[in-house]
Structure 1
Amino acid sequence: MTQLRPIVLGLIFLMLASPLGAMVTSTSNLADEHQPMNAEGWDKDIDVPTWRIGDEWVYDTNFDVAQLIAQANVSASLNALTGETSYEITDILFITIDGIQTLAYVLEIDGSFTSGNSGATLEGVSGRLNIGYQGEDLVRVRDLAVINSEFTLDVTFDPLNLGFLRQYIAEITFDTFYDPPKEKYDFPLHLGDQWYMPFQSGTGVTGTSDYFDPSEFDTSGGENNSWQITANGIPTDGSKNIQYTGCDDSYKINEVNATGVSLGYNWYCPAVRFNSWITITNAAGFTIDWLLKEYNPADSYGVSAGSTPGTRNVEIDIDMQFLATLPDSEQTLTASYTTSPSGTPQANKNLQIRYELDSHLASPTTDGNGEITHLLNVSDVVDTTPSSDDYTSNGVIVWDPATDIIGATTVVIDLSVVAVDLVAQADSIIVTRVREGESSILSRVTGYGALPGDMISFSIPAQNRGVLTSPATEMEVITPDGTSIRENIPAISSYSEQRITV
């Protein structure tokens, strides 16, 4: 069984690339991924979502390791490993980060995957390869940043498909921290947004295996990753779709490291408050897909697990006075606490307002209409993700400690708040290169290389950085050969955009 080692190592590397952890190289075959978009307007659906204890997401999961085995040059074969992965919110708690008491979700992850009977052949022996996965992530409430990720991986092989002959290949636990917590989303989300963040991460590994030393997976060091939202629509790779039918307004978020190497992508679905699809591939020869099949929200009615999230029975809804504001300014925060579907107010409830980035707390009580108002000084604190579309975006939480019901929104701080400010935001341009039918997203980090025969397209935004709706106008683009292209731009609402593709 010594030739099993490369396969097991590859599978472990693959599992390390979990949906909430680092992602690895991937590309898309969608040549028509970027289409002209209508002005979005400010939509709460693209702001930070809130989760409840009991929320569950179920994903079809598929591992393809054929190329890994071929490159390992071993006498083995293996079908794609298939199974399900479930994510469930099991607790809401406090954790201290850099001296700040921080509200966090506990997200438990459980999965089991198998090659099926006779789906694996190792050194001439046919059988069944099994992987068990159990993990727990700590996720910051105000922005869904990952604080810590821990999981245990259990790999076994059943020769001749007989369980009593089972061979225990490895049982290993990985514990990874991110400092500061890793922000894979920068709410509110808009097509073309870019952000980056430097952070430290480290992984400690414990466990047992007859085939390798688990400590060889220990890692620690600095990273500097960047993200861009490159598509908005139905999550697909051009050949298959997810089973869940209610995520046609998903946002594709690509990630690259400091050297320009792609770290993969995920599709974020506002309707289910989480990801609808994650695809990960690696040059070592393995690919993994998580495709959403069910969403089971807690404390909700009108739910269809495969298509509709329904409506929360009780909800805290937050409104800020302005869409964006200057540093050190004051905004009125209004929150309503109601029961659906009748809209019955939750009166005399003791709530807590948490503006954690500034260590600001307040404890208002709802009035007879189930509402609170609070004058919030946004201060001059900044988040850890410099971006193309704002100075900083800071999460605000309104929380009922007695019931763990949470409302959240994002304070957008802009250094130049004006009535109307139309800009052609160069940092939000999406550059797509199609080479031999394969589509890749280019950026300043990856470089803008092209060869004869490549097709290059530019999705160019006109953004309204003002607080009032802009009038209809035109955008003119001058190509390198001097050609002038003019496109009509309709009225654009505050902090929204319209795109043209050339």
Structure 2
Amino acid sequence: MVVTLLLFSVSVSPLSLEDVSKVRHSDEGAEVAQLVTWSVGDTWTYDIELDAVLLVEDSPDLAGSSLELLYGDATITVAAATLHNVSGQLLPAYRLEINAYATGAGRFPEPNTGIFASGQLLVNYQETRWVRMSDLAVISRLQSLDLDFDAFGIWTTGIADFDHAHQYEPPQEVNDFPMRLNESWNSVSVHTETWTGNGGPVQISEDVVETEEVIVYNVAEIGQSPANFAGCEESYRVLWNNTNGDILEDRWWCPAVGFEAYWWTDDIALEGVDAEFWLTGFTPAETPEVVVALGANVSALNQIINVTVIGPVGQTGTLWHHSQMYNFTLESGVATLQIQAGNLMDDTPTSIDWATHGIIACVEINTDSMNCGGSTLTLEGSAIGALLRQDAIERAPMVLEVGHETTQRLGLSFRF
């Protein structure tokens, strides 16, 4: 009996809670947020608040200056849906254009005399963001920030004016569809950054900076976001943490509008400007609908999957599964294809799936306004092994306790 217990303990000893923490988990049977597709012209509007108070007060170049909170609005628009270079492959992607403007009261010195004056800090923010269509992972971002101080028309001075480019390899999977309550996953990307222009109170790097960025995501709750936007009562709160457990972003994904109803970030720019966004409006573009229906949304590896595409009658198009392409014609508005599920693992393999891959079908190919639909295929594979490992770890304390009690009883049975 003692030998058996020792053998069991050796068999589980290589496993640790650290191993389990790298595996995504999910509550089965919970509500699910599925992949959405956008159309060129879709627009979301927000009220925004920027907090750069500490950035100004802690800057030696702005000694004696002060700033209150900044308030304004922002617009996010789908500017293009087209083929884009994603890790060396041409794949369907979106180009988002983000424009924001905010103002706030402050006190800054006149650049020539150094005399302080009260006025308004003017913030113009623009961002071009490329997003992979199959999972809405972020491929790249180009931020442009212009800060000016207006002393009520007496004089105006520039504070900062720069561009900050971000590239993520592989793309940063900020939403792992289908999403469920208590689901968690990791995103590991090489984040390449370049700066040009004048950073003002922040010294910007003249070099290209590459860092391995690990972000842990968790669907913490489902409910009404702080934005209280009608139709978003069942939003998915996704918390972003670094490996130290610090919260980087707090986002509420609203399936009804296909975007965040609210989000907070601890660093929208200049390494320390907090930002909050509250959704105030959503205007969907009027485009013909393209629907992708899978014969099975969950499949074993290397199976044949039936896919039905529904869309404008007579249109021709292409379906993408990874980089594999399948052409189709919508005879009577419907096309049926058979595709290989394959066995390719994604960048977030989990304890409940081998991979999740978005199947995308588009018409009006080779334009900047592709009309697309999509659905997520979940591949089962390594899940059984991961679940067994997790189960063994959960049972190990109980087994060791039983072994300890058994050893004590055996000890009392012998005379020494």
Whether TM-score is above 0.5 comes out as yes
Deviation for aligned residue 1:424: 12
User: Alpha-carbon deviations, 1:266-308, whole Å to 9, x = none?
Assistant: 11110111111111237x9753211111111110xxxxxxxxx
CA contact (8 A) 1:196 1:386 kept: no
CA contact (8 A) 1:193 1:389 kept: no
- SS for the counterpart of 1:385 is coil
Q: In structure 2, which of residues 229, 247, 250 is the aligned counterpart of residue 244 of structure 1?
A: 229
The corresponding residue for 1:389 is 352
The answer to whether 1:207 aligns with 2:197 is yes
- SS for the counterpart of 2:356 is strand
The answer to whether 1:379 aligns with 2:342 is yes
The answer to whether 1:55 aligns with 2:42 is yes
The answer to whether 1:414 aligns with 2:374 is no
Question: Whole-Å Cα distance in 1 between the matches of residues 337 and 83 of structure 2?
Answer: 23
CA contact (8 A) 2:55 2:201 kept: no
CA contact (8 A) 1:143 1:185 kept: yes
Equivalent residue letter for 1:412:
T
Equivalent residue letter for 1:192:
N
Q: How does 1:347-362 map to 2 (within 5 A)?
A: 347-355=313-321, 357=322, 359-362=323-326
The corresponding residue for 1:138 is 130
Q: In structure 1, which of residues 264, 267, 272 is the aligned counterpart of residue 249 of structure 2?
A: 264
CA contact (8 A) 1:139 1:146 kept: yes
The answer to whether 1:297 aligns with 2:284 is yes
Q: In structure 2, which of residues 96, 106, 114 is the aligned counterpart of residue 107 of structure 1?
A: 96
Q: How does 1:4-43 map to 2 (within 5 A)?
A: 39-40=29-30
Unaligned runs of 5+ in 1: 1-36, 237-241, 300-312, 338-345, 428-477, 479-502
Question: Whole-Å Cα distance in 2 between the matches of residues 75 and 360 of structure 1?
Answer: 59
Larger radius of gyration: 2
The corresponding residue for 1:449 is none
Deviation for aligned residue 1:129: 0.6
Deviation for aligned residue 1:217: 8.2
Unaligned runs of 5+ in 2: 1-26, 110-115, 392-397, 399-416
The corresponding residue for 2:117 is 125
Range 95-104 or range 171-180, more displaced: 95-104
Q: Structure 1-normalised TM-score?
A: 0.65
The corresponding residue for 2:309 is 335
Question: Whole-Å Cα distance in 2 between the matches of residues 87 and 258 of structure 1?
Answer: 30
| Percent of residue pairs bearing the same amino acid type | 25
The corresponding residue for 1:173 is 163
The change in CA–CA distance for 1:426 and 1:269 in structure 2 (over 3 A counts) is farther
Question: Whole-Å Cα distance in 2 between the matches of residues 153 and 273 of structure 1?
Answer: 26
Deviation for aligned residue 1:225: 1.8
- SS for the counterpart of 2:159 is strand
Deviation for aligned residue 1:38: 10
Equivalent residue letter for 2:249:
G
The corresponding residue for 1:365 is 329
Range 83-92 or range 397-406, more displaced: 397-406
Bigger share in helix:
2
CA contact (8 A) 1:324 1:417 kept: no
CA contact (8 A) 1:265 1:279 kept: yes
Q: In structure 2, which of residues 184, 203, 216 is the aligned counterpart of residue 194 of structure 1?
A: 184
Question: Whole-Å Cα distance in 1 between the matches of residues 275 and 99 of structure 2?
Answer: 16
- SS for the counterpart of 2:289 is strand
The answer to whether 1:85 aligns with 2:74 is yes
CA contact (8 A) 1:195 1:388 kept: no
Deviation for aligned residue 1:213: 4.7
The change in CA–CA distance for 1:264 and 1:425 in structure 2 (over 3 A counts) is farther
User: Alpha-carbon deviations, 1:124-150, whole Å to 9, x = none?
Assistant: 411111111112111111111111100
The change in CA–CA distance for 1:202 and 1:417 in structure 2 (over 3 A counts) is closer
The corresponding residue for 2:139 is 147
Question: Whole-Å Cα distance in 2 between the matches of residues 177 and 281 of structure 1?
Answer: 19
CA contact (8 A) 1:77 1:122 kept: yes
Deviation for aligned residue 1:99: 3.2
Deviation for aligned residue 1:39: 4.2
The change in CA–CA distance for 1:281 and 1:134 in structure 2 (over 3 A counts) is closer
Q: Structure 2-normalised TM-score?
A: 0.77
- SS for the counterpart of 2:315 is coil
User: Alpha-carbon deviations, 1:159-200, whole Å to 9, x = none?
Assistant: 2x11x6110122101111000111101101111111112210
- RMSD, aligned CA: 2.7
CA contact (8 A) 2:187 2:348 kept: yes
CA contact (8 A) 1:172 1:214 kept: no
CA contact (8 A) 1:255 1:265 kept: yes
